[in-house]
């Protein structure tokens, strides 16, 4: 099956062609400008490749509810040119193939569950720490949507008593994204996160905040595996620090095999940063199956 995959982001649109095995044949990146400029470029790319279905993992908030009138829309995004934009409709109309649609992070967790280290698990969380923070949640074999879809990057966390930074989230100031995403690191420490590698205090505080969120996810969702990706998580020294804080925060309350072995419970992404686009291939494959049923 020739499947198209689109990882729609606020700065770039990654378009790829692959198959149902998660193999990627080719991939291009198109800068995210207004829909009138960017969408026709993507449509002509996918048309030329004769794709049989398309999977879109999209920045949000989006409407993933098939019963809703605005299914397939990007809804209240701060990227104003894309607010209330029917992205699924645009591709369905132009290409005429089945289109699967979910959040970018649900795409990533689906990639890991279908093709990566989370195969065989039924409850997995994927968290990206990059320009923003987001979480894809796969619980008991299903991508979680609920009322809308989780926005777990915006969970509220407790500020450490010595931290004077005011937070960067326009909605909640000091939520996880406001305290721990790349732009917050840059504003707090005065340099891009990539240039802060040797500053121990940066990663200790970062791990403290990420661990609070993970502890809350563990307590509310009971995942079997937690995967951390995104640009900031390329700082590998974060992993042992995060595991150690999670252990302290849980304080022995839960006794499971997973929590005895945090090194294999809180892990980096396994698909070389292709988890998102591979998940979109699976969203495309699933759209074909749904159409046949
Ligand atoms: P996006 O979230 O836009 O899809 P990324 O996941 O690459 O893209 O996140 C970009 C953010 O991550 C930027 O704020 C950048 O400073 C930060 N970042 C990217 N690479 C690294 C790195 N190696 N170390 C620390 N921070 C990084
Ligand atoms: Zn927030």
- Name the closest-CA residue to atom 24, ligand 1: 194
**Global confidence as pTM:** 0.97
* Distance of alpha carbon 240 from alpha carbon 32, whole angstroms: 35
- CA torsion sign for 29, 96, 25, 73 is positive
Q: What are 123-180's pLDDT values in tens digits?
A: 999 999 999 999 999 999 999 999 999 999 999 999 999 999 999 999 999 999 999 9
Q: What are 8-23's pLDDT values in tens digits?
A: 999 999 999 999 999 9
**Structural tokens at position 248:** 């302290």
- What's 245's DSSP letter? H
CB 84 within 8 A of CB 237: no
Distance 180 CA to ligand 2 centre (A): 11
Rg (CA), the chain: 19
> Residue 114: CB partners within 8 Å, gap ≥ 6?
22, 278, 279, 282
Residue written as token pair 């198959």: 19
Distance 129 CA to ligand 1 centre (A): 7
Structural domains of the chain, ranges and CATH numbers in brackets: 3-104 (3.30.420.40), 117-268 (3.30.420.40)
- Tens of pLDDT along the chain (293 residues) come to 999 999 999 999 999 999 999 999 999 999 999 999 999 999 999 999 999 999 999 998 999 999 999 999 999 887 889 999 999 999 999 999 999 999 999 999 999 999 999 999 999 999 999 999 999 999 999 999 999 999 999 999 999 999 999 999 999 999 999 999 999 999 999 999 999 999 999 999 999 999 999 999 999 999 999 999 999 999 999 999 999 999 999 999 999 999 999 999 999 999 999 999 999 999 999 999 998 88
* Distance of alpha carbon 182 from alpha carbon 180, whole angstroms: 7
> What number of residues does the chain have?
293
């Amino acid at each position: 099956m020739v499947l198209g995959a689109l990882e729609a982001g606020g700065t770039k649109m990654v378009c790829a062609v692959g198959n149902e095995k998660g193999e990627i044949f080719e991939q291009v990146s198109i800068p995210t400008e207004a829909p009138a400029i960017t969408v026709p470029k993507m449509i002509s790319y996918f048309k030329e490749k004769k794709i049989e279905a398309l999977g879109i993992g999209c920045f949000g908030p989006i409407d993933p509810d098939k019963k809703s009138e605005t299914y397939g829309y990007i809804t209240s995004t701060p990227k104003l040119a894309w607010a209330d934009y029917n992205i699924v409709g645009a591709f369905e109309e132009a290409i005429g193939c089945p289109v699967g649609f979910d959040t970018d992070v649900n795409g990533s967790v689906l990639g890991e569950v279908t093709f990566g280290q989370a195969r065989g698990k039924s409850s997995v969380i994927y968290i990206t720490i990059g320009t923003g923070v987001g979480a894809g949640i796969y619980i008991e074999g299903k991508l979680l949507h609920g009322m809308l879809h989780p926005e777990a990057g915006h969970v509220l966390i407790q500020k450490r008593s010595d931290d004077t930074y005011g937070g960067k989230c326009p909605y909640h100031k000091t939520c996880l994204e406001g305290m721990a995403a790349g732009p917050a690191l840059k504003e707090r420490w005065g340099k891009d996160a990539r240039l802060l590698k040797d500053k121990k205090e940066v990663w200790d505080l970062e791990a403290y905040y990420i661990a609070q969120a993970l502890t809350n996810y563990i307590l509310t969702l009971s995942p079997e595996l937690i995967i951390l990706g995104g640009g900031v998580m390329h700082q590998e020294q974060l992993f042992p620090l995060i595991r150690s804080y999670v252990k302290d925060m849980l304080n022995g309350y839960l006794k499971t095999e997973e929590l005895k072995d945090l090194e294999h419970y809180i892990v980096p992404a396994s698909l070389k940063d292709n988890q998102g686009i591979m998940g979109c291939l699976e969203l495309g494959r699933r759209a074909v199956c749904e159409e046949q049923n």
